Amino acid sequence: MNSDDVPVAICSDHAGYELKEFLLDWLSANNIEFINFGTYSPDNCDYPDFAHPLAEAVESGEAPRGIAICGSGQGVTMTVNKHQGIRGALCWIPEMAKLARQHNNANVLCLPARFISKEDAIKAVELFFATPFEGGRHQKRLDKMTL
């Protein structure tokens, strides 16, 4: 991860809380700056309350990229993608995170806490931040996404 990628915005709901805390420890151990948008406990909560502020931070440039986590990954993905400047990608295997960056210039990695191991989550995060956008033929497709 280079200095252009930090701080990393990160959030979860209660179902993703344990994985988020694990990733926060990993980010800290690797001296990677982050902004934690919550949740701050495993108590039942609503993912949009955390995914919207994360998306706003990425959209505004406060954080260049983000990681959003919930049980299936679907809820946070749908929520962040409501924001015009966000391209959130639901990835449950590391290779998907690489392709989401490479082909789609994704700026929010969405992880399904109930369907991904901690080891694969770390690999996905590493690939998401290490992989550049290819541009070229993929850019014209991105240009067609905006209504």
Q: Which residues have CB under 8 Å from 29's CB, separation 6+?
A: none
Q: Which residues pair with 109 in a beta bridge?
A: 67, 89
Query: Is 91 a residue of the active site?
Result: no
Phi-psi region of 80 (alpha: psi -120 to 50; beta: other; left: phi over 0): alpha
Query: Is 70 a residue of the active site?
Result: yes
Catalytic residue among 52, 83, 103, 138: 103
Catalytic residue among 11, 70, 91, 110: 70
Number of H helices, E strands in the chain: 6, 5
> Identity (one letter) of the amino acid at 127?
L
CA angle 62, 43, 122 (to 5 degrees): 50
Q: How far is CA 74 from CA 21, 27, 95, 113, 140, in A?
A: 19, 24, 18, 11, 26
Catalytically active residues are 70, 103
